[in-house]
Structure 1
Amino acid sequence: MRDMLHAGQLSGHQSVVVGAGASGRAAARLLSRLGASVRFLEKNAASVTDAFRAEAVEAGYDLRVGDHGPADFAGADLVVLSPGIRAASLTDCLAACPGAQVVSELELASWFTAEPIVAVTGSNGKTTTVMLISHLLEAAGRKVFTGGNIGTPLSEYVLAGDPADVVVLEVSSFQLQLVRTFRPRVGVLLNFSPNHLDWHADLDEYLDAKLNLFKAQRPGDLALVPEELRETLAGRTLSKGEVVWFAPSGRFHCPRLAGLHNRQNMEAAYLACQPFGVTEETAKAAFESFAPAPHRLQIIGEKRGVLFVDDSKATTVAAMEAALKSFDRPVRLLCGGVWKGGDLAALLPLLKGKVASVGLFGASREIFEAAWAGQVPLFYEPTQKAAVTRLFAEAVPGDVILLSPATASFDLYDSYKARGRDFQEIFAGLPMGPAGQAEGRP
């Protein structure tokens, strides 16, 4: 067990964990290990699997499934909310425990993390940049834990008791809204654009949540902030550590990462790794060997001279914009799904110069058509398969069929990954090349 983690530390404390996702389950395990009583709340019965019920019984959780009420929070001195659960939605319930600390799993786990943390947030590009940072640190011989909003919750790292040299975390605005003492040795804000306005009260609340990344930093820490936000953030005290403004440069190259936004991600990743002894020479070599995560401008293959690219992770208008700017060839754009906000009309100059046609599928048809109909060639199909098939019939050699939806996936799929996998399966089933041989390549 880790030196900072002692059984019984929270003995006598009543905790409430809300939400049975990965981070909620991890937080409950950590609290139980520390000796706290755990009351576990989940509104959706379908989210409580038989395996989790068995775990809850074995661990002694007070598991309550269904709508929450004030009685579920009575007597609590610590409340851990899973990402996506707004504290404002529980105002009446939280009134039943007025002295309780209300935190995210990220905040809770950070209390028991002694290793230096590199934390990355932003509207787009977080996962790619986190993976770049971990790749660079590992290339320099550092032992790295990579997790947070990508993969493994920080609480699981704490429980594992296997310290890394550096902890690299992707962190979301949902998590950051409920941090107080979370202190990254290096904090990276990649960018900021309208996103999650279906969850945050307004754009100012969303920005304030992102900037919580730097609030607990001390002298000697590093805050990396994009040059493009200098005017927006003028007059704010961002961090008590060193603030470095960064922008894309041409000094790094990665054959698998296209576009200006990825040059900015590489610059941020290198600057984040400098405090841990990563040299520019090491970074250049590591970038050359880097392979990005699936569904992030992932080249799937080519058929009949048409390139297929899976950018299903692009769930915002800004992410779609970055993807479009990554190509110098005509784009057949595939988009649609659960709308999260943004200005589609502002993309028209870019679309008119780059997009040959747009295939809409799934939900939000009326939003896209209101912004783009009559301005660019556009059609609608109810399913992704029908839309891809139609785009492929229109495409000519040299075109790109780009899945970059600018929306969440929950109309037709349970995740952006499922949407991307379906796109890849659709590609695999498309006709062979004219010579009778499959032209797809990894």
Structure 2
Amino acid sequence: MDRTVGIFQSLKIFENRQAVVVGAGVSGLAACRFLLSLGARVRLVDAKPDLSPGVLQKVHADPASVGLTLEAGPHTPAQFADAHLVVLSPGVPVKKLAPVLADVDPARVVAEMEFASWFLTEPVIAITGTNGKTTTTTLVGRILESAGLSVFVGGNIGTPLCDYLMAERAADVLVIEISSFQLQNCRSFAPRVAALLNFSANHLDYHADMEEYLQAKLQLFARQDHGCTAVVPESMRAELVARGFTKARVEGFAAEDTDFDCPGLPGAHNRENIAAAWRMVRPFGVTEAQARKAVAEFHALAHRIEPVGETNGVLFVNDSKATTLDSVCAAVKSFGRPVRLLLGGVFKGGDVASMLPTLTGRVASIGLFGAAREVFEPVLAPHFPVSWDQTLEAAVRRQFGQAKPGDVILLSPATASFDAYSSYTERGRDFVRVAQAIASEHGGGR
């Protein structure tokens, strides 16, 4: 099925309207691109006072010619006074914005994912939960592909929905990860299949209490109808049904529900994820044989942007194979969530400053370890919080101590490993060991 931006342009609902996008991260820039394609005038605002105007080049080669402007620094009511629409990037603290949005109709303030969903006609599988979202989202995509369907996997991971809308061809099914932050500003989003993988204490620095956090998660199900499917843990099913949380058909899941063989996803929590994934794909005609095959074959490539664990909402990713600056940039761009980047080892040459346009807006902090400190620190420290530790383990633990739920701790070192390891594989294995130790220390992780 062909898709062209012209389909949306013909609607003319945003032509010459003022839109304000909050947050200059991956999703915010995607929202800017799509709004501009609809003929809107776009003001990109970001609280970071030192944000480079060059960020606009990631949206359009000539920002001024298409009505795109950037305002960096503390938000003010004036930035939103003329807004026909306000689009929020994932993780933008809505409560902190409340004073400057006091005069804006709340119905005009939406999450990037909600905004994109207005233009979708394809069926959507949307996945939320405290832990395991990224792995399960990826697994569901693989199972659907094994059944011969064309699939888009993205949302809070990978490609934002607004960028998907700019693609020339549409997928048969969209599989998206969605966070509680995004769900608080979703008012019409109604996925064909919605899944809550699990629920435990998290984001309580953002949500007032556990009940508010749960209510944010349950927004995913609020607008589903009788033709939709809600997939929830069997242990929560009775409570959620008693709340009247959805009109959809409700399916519970538990680890013991499936006996699919999956050596690439060990652990009871992954048995639960597999059981949930199976329930998500069945409405799309996937056979058990197709699902079994896809699950059995599922694994990340070792040391190449390889998710190796998730603890307290922080995802650990092993990209030890990245020994060049370009490969680091490719890895960082793979995530639509804040990255805490680990760099260090034997530098092989290149212009470290060339990474700045990619890292800006994506990287929350940088942990240096081992050799090459003198190469990275002078260039990166003026732009990011930078720390240094002698060992990789110390650097990982420091970054985990600073990380927030939803962050990615990414080992993508941009160097050879020979200052401390015999190979990149040994370095990667050491990173995995530390990630597993941290998970064990914090109750097992996911």
TM-score, with structure 1 as normaliser = 0.71
Note if contact 2:48-2:72 (Cα within 8 Å) is conserved in structure 1. Answer: yes
Q: What is the Cα deviation at residue 173 of structure 1?
A: 0.8
Select 2:311's aligned residue among 314, 317, 338: 314
Matched residue SS, 1:38: strand
The reply on whether 1:416 has 2:408 as its aligned counterpart is yes
The reply on whether 1:284 has 2:287 as its aligned counterpart is no
TM-score, with structure 2 as normaliser = 0.70
Select 1:429's aligned residue among 415, 420, 423: 420
The reply on whether 1:31 has 2:38 as its aligned counterpart is no
Note if contact 1:314-1:404 (Cα within 8 Å) is conserved in structure 2. Answer: no
Note if contact 2:5-2:37 (Cα within 8 Å) is conserved in structure 1. Answer: no
Q: What's the counterpart of residue 56 of structure 1?
A: 63
The reply on whether 1:22 has 2:56 as its aligned counterpart is no
Q: What is the Cα deviation at residue 428 of structure 1?
A: 9.1
Change (3 A) 1:223 1:4: farther
Q: What's the counterpart of residue 243 of structure 1?
A: 250
Change (3 A) 1:133 1:47: farther
Per-residue Cα deviation, 1:219-249 (whole angstroms, up to 9, x for no partner): 1100000012235535211211101111113
Matches within 5 A, 1:215-294: 215-230=222-237, 232-233=239-240, 235-249=242-256, 250-292=258-300
Work out the CA distance in 2 between the residues paired with 1:264 and 1:218.
Answer: 25
Change (3 A) 1:279 1:207: same
Per-residue Cα deviation, 1:194-234 (whole angstroms, up to 9, x for no partner): 11122222222211111111111111100000012235535
Work out the CA distance in 2 between the residues paired with 1:293 and 1:48.
Answer: 35
Select 1:42's aligned residue among 39, 46, 53: 46
Q: What is the Cα deviation at residue 132 of structure 1?
A: 0.7
Letter in 2 for 1:214: F
Q: What is the Cα deviation at residue 157 of structure 1?
A: 0.6
Note if contact 2:261-2:292 (Cα within 8 Å) is conserved in structure 1. Answer: yes
Q: What is the Cα deviation at residue 126 of structure 1?
A: 0.5
Note if contact 1:20-1:48 (Cα within 8 Å) is conserved in structure 2. Answer: no
Per-residue Cα deviation, 1:414-439 (whole angstroms, up to 9, x for no partner): 96343x446x988993479xxxx989
Select 1:79's aligned residue among 64, 74, 86: 86
Q: What is the Cα deviation at residue 134 of structure 1?
A: 0.5
Letter in 1 for 2:296: E
Change (3 A) 1:426 1:211: farther
Letter in 1 for 2:74: D
Letter in 1 for 2:24: A
Q: What's the counterpart of residue 373 of structure 2?
A: none
Number of equivalenced pairs? 353
Q: What's the counterpart of residue 138 of structure 1?
A: 145
Matched residue SS, 1:230: helix
Q: Which has the larger radius of gyration?
A: 1
Point out where structure 2 has 5 or more consecutive residues left out of the alignment.
317-339, 341-366, 368-386, 433-446
Matched-pair identity in %: 43
Change (3 A) 1:277 1:385: farther
Per-residue Cα deviation, 1:290-349 (whole angstroms, up to 9, x for no partner): 1137799969xxxxxxxxxx43x42449x99xxxxxxxxxxxxxxxxx9xxxxxxxxxxx
Work out the CA distance in 2 between the residues paired with 1:83 and 1:439.
Answer: 32
Change (3 A) 1:71 1:167: same
Change (3 A) 1:137 1:100: closer
Change (3 A) 1:417 1:428: farther
Work out the CA distance in 1 between the residues paired with 2:13 and 2:109.
Answer: 18
Q: What's the counterpart of residue 190 of structure 2?
A: 183
Per-residue Cα deviation, 1:260-281 (whole angstroms, up to 9, x for no partner): 0101111111111111111111
Letter in 2 for 1:94: L
Q: What is the Cα deviation at residue 129 of structure 1?
A: 0.5
Letter in 1 for 2:261: H
Matched residue SS, 1:220: coil
Q: What's the counterpart of residue 165 of structure 1?
A: 172
Runs of at least 4 residues off by over 6 Å: 293-299, 403-406, 424-428, 437-442
Work out the CA distance in 1 between the residues paired with 2:304 and 2:209.
Answer: 27
Change (3 A) 1:93 1:297: closer
Change (3 A) 1:2 1:73: closer
Matched residue SS, 1:233: helix
